[in-house]
Chains A and B, each alone.
Chain A
């Protein structure tokens, strides 16, 4: 149990376009989802915390107008990178937790490349 999926696994887009990444909890209800970014050879950095039905809470330094997060249901959160630039190229990973579980379950990640 406790499987989290992400789609797409890899995406290449042109500079200036927007990209949407989906994160789904497949077999549990995720009251909270987290979005992380990881640059090569660096650790995961939390971008934002998303609770179902409410606005996401962004970490310091993360532009909320550039990284739009929607958590419309208990099994789906989306991250939209708007007006992407090459410096946004990174590995984006989501995680999810239910209200009754201490653990966060990670998705497989999405490799974004902006050309």
Chain B
């Protein structure tokens, strides 16, 4: 099985940077995903890491260290619309995703 930990809540100011950490212990690893989810909606894909290093995609970047079982999602130039839940998910060899509990990010003016 998978054990995935991420902080429950984070608060940041508009225009700032926030880093959401995710640690995992897995029985199989075939990639790590980050999703954004607004209340009452389905998750939307943000990023995917399968090799160590940083993947940058506009204001969002994601980092992976497989040896440490660690990833982070970096949100830059925060906007009010970035207030949402951010889910870390690990995929196993059968393409099944196991999700962390999610980190609720609140962006304040």
Contacts and interface: CB of A to CB of B under 8 A. Distances in A.
A109 B99 contact: no
Contacts of B48: 102-103
A60 B92 CA distance: 16
A106 B97 CA distance: 12
B73 interface: no
Contacts of B101: 42-43
A104 B42 contact: no
Interface string B74-90: 00000000000001000
A106 B102 contact: no
B100 A43 contact: yes
Nearest to B100: A43
A9 to B, nearest CB: 10
Contact of B95 (A91, A97, A107): A97
Contact of B42 (A42, A46, A102, A106): A106
B42 A108 contact: yes
A79 interface: no
A11 interface: no
Contacts of B65: none
A104 B97 contact: yes
Given A43-B87, A43-B102, A44-B87, A106 B44 contact: yes
A21 interface: no
Contacts of A109: 40-42
Nearest to A42: B101
B42 A32 contact: no
Interface of B: 31, 33, 40-45, 48, 50, 87, 94-102
24 contacts: A34-B96, A43-B100, A43-B101, A44-B43, A44-B87, A44-B99, A46-B96, A46-B98, A49-B96, A91-B40, A93-B43, A97-B95, A102-B48, A103-B48, A104-B95, A104-B97, A105-B45, A106-B42, A106-B43, A106-B44, A108-B42, A109-B40, A109-B42, A111-B40
Interface of A: 32, 34, 42-46, 49, 91, 93, 95, 97, 102-109, 111
